[in-house]
Amino acid sequence: MGKKQKEIEGEKLFELHYQDIYGDRWPTLRLALLEERKPVAFCEHLEATYYLDEASIVAARLLGVQKGDHVLDMCAAPGGKSLVLASSLQGSGKLVANDRSATRRGRLKIVLKNHLHEAWQESVQVTGHDASKWGLYEQGLYDRVLLDAPCSSERHVLNDGKALKLWRPSRPKVLAIQQFAMLAAALEAVKIGGVILYSTCSIEPIENEGVIEKLFAKRAGRFALEDTSGPDAEQRSYGSIILPDRANGRGPLYFCLIRRVS
């Protein structure tokens, strides 16, 4: 098969895949994903305003961070959700903002430095660990864990011709394996009674509720799900999703709130 044929195949496979998932809704959802994002200003307790998707603010606040909490953001870059978490801590407790990529970690440090009060920065630690192995080294340590997992990010794919041409159905399956490993590590890292927020910006079910389904299969009895209902949040078999075609351009963002019970 020639290069040109492979590129055409990537676009066709993408369309067929999501058409199969979303049916008659797909054309409308596709158009919404192609539209320019509408970030909103977030400045609560910050030194400077940061602009991000409103759905990200809604999800990060679901974690329910309280002053004095020990919080882990496992895949923190570019840093918008970390700022939401830090705004709740207000310089108390501790926030560990992790990202494995040195490049992304560099941008994360700049965002935190430019937006957080200088005194608050002392309670924030930036790390570069492999999130999937976190539970091997720190167990039962955190009150709250945010896992905004690397995902298919279909909005980006649709707006990037090169990425669209290279897309294959195997990609979400590979990502789902990685996402589960990270979530399993988060379950070890959080305290009993503590809470994990698992989120992605994917519209792919196997990366979203499919990962939670696998957690039920592999870690049954160790956790329970919390309510994630709210404005524009569409309920899934596990968790909720905000999709831009029905949320005035917000999202996509999937999120599931998980409380460790043993």
Q: Which residues are catalytic?
A: 201
Write down the residue that tokens 């098969």 correspond to. 1
225, 239 contact by CB (below 8 A): yes
Q: How many CB atoms lie within 10 A of CB 36?
A: 7
Write down the residue that tokens 């309670």 correspond to. 123
DSSP letter string, 1-56: --HHHHHHHHHHHHHHHHHHHHGGGHHHHHHHHHSPP--EEE-TT-SS-EEE-HHH
Q: How far apart are CA 71 and CA 186, in angstroms?
A: 11
Reading phi first (left if > 0) and then psi (alpha if -120 to 50, else beta), residue 239 is in left
Q: How far apart are CA 58 and CA 42, in angstroms?
A: 11
